[in-house]
Amino acid sequence: MNRVLRDKKAILVFVLPGFILYTVFVILPIIWSGVYSLFEGTVGMKNWSFAGLANYARLFTDKNFMNALSVNMRYVLMVTLGQVGLGLVMALVFKFWVKKFGALVRTIVFFPVVLPTVAVAQLFAKIYEIQPHYGLLNSLLAALGLENLVQPWIGQSSTALGSLAAMDIWVAIGFYSIIIYGALLDISSEVIEAARIDGCKPCQLFWHILRPLLMPILVTCLIFSFTGTVKMFESALALTGGGPGRATTSLSMYMYDTAFTYMKTGYGSTIALVIFLICVVGSRLIRLLDRNKLK
């Protein structure tokens, strides 16, 4: 293996195919989006003309863009913390409390990850239903005597985004719990036992022993979740369609409508670049947070 890694030709053979695919499907589209963002109109049509930085200036006065950005940021905050936080809790449960039938429990928790988005959206639409019959959530509230809390969860702007976030958190908990559980298995049981002998309580064991050892994988999970939630599209489209109004319209949905429904390719490319920059900058900030604050 060492001989192969020292052979530059061998390295080139292994790296080049992946690099070519990455360039064609990632780098070039980003470059083309950057070029298109300097134009306005539709590619190949008479209204296609050079606009300079006008599309970027337009972002600051576009109320629909600002609304989509606000929806995205609130959604990212709820879902990223929920997915990774609850994934961490479930991983700890797998490690320290679930002994019997552990494999079965982990399989059940992971199962939502492999479900089609449309199927999950239909399931939660039934859970949140209020007409013609109460769904599961409203039925439970009514059975508990909490009729005042019965409401159209995805039919009003005040609760639609939170309802969507709850669905996406539920779907991804299994994915992050399994990743973190794998990292927990790599921590030597001798380290944990030594901490317990020294008198560490559960909270102290987690904060002073497990947390620092898990930090690299937690940061990776945060980056995965952050970049995925910034690009939120299919789950919102399937459950709420971006509504009611624009209460759950994300940047990706607004970009799609702008570029493909209203045929404004230049402005749509500008929004796509903003999404890309948010992913890059946000991921970098998470890395810096790990390096400077959480160690």
Can you point out the beta strands (E) in the chain? 39-40, 49-50
pLDDT reading at 114 higher than 60: yes
pLDDT reading at 179 higher than 70: yes
Q: How far apart are CA 260 and CA 47, in angstroms?
A: 15
pLDDT band at 292 (very low <50, low <70, confident <90, very high): low
Query: Tell me, what's the pLDDT at 102?
Result: 87
pLDDT band at 295 (very low <50, low <70, confident <90, very high): very low
Q: What spatial distance separates the first Cα and last Cα of the chain, rounded to whole Å? A: 34
Strand-pairing partners, residue 50, are 39
What mean pLDDT comes out for the span 176-190? 93
DSSP letter, residue 49: E
What mean pLDDT comes out for the span 53-63? 95
What mean pLDDT comes out for the span 4-15? 72
What mean pLDDT comes out for the span 219-231? 94
pLDDT in tens, 243-264: 999 999 999 999 999 999 999 9
Query: Tell me, what's the pLDDT at 4?
Result: 55
Q: What residues contact 63, with CB distance under 8 A and at least 6 apart?
A: none
pLDDT reading at 271 higher than 90: yes
Query: Tell me, what's the pLDDT at 2?
Result: 63
Angle (CA) 25-76-265 rounded to 5° is: 45
Treating both helix axes as pointing N-terminal to C-terminal, what angle do 157-186 and 102-110 enclose, rounded to 10 degrees? Answer: 140
* More reliable by pLDDT, 12 or 123: 123
What mean pLDDT comes out for the span 75-92? 96
What mean pLDDT comes out for the span 211-219? 92
Q: What percent of the chain has pLDDT over 90?
A: 76
pLDDT band at 1 (very low <50, low <70, confident <90, very high): low
pLDDT reading at 294 higher than 60: no
Query: Both tokens of residue 4?
Result: 């192969």
pLDDT reading at 265 higher than 80: yes
Mean pLDDT for the chain? 91
Q: What is the 3-state secondary structure (H, E, C) of 132-192?
A: CCCCHHHHHHHHCCCHHHCCCCCCCHHHHHHHHHHHHHHHHHHHHHHHHHHHHHHCCHHHH
Q: pTM for this one?
A: 0.90
96-105, 135-144, 148-157: which has the minimum mean pLDDT? Answer: 96-105
Strand-pairing partners, residue 40, are 49
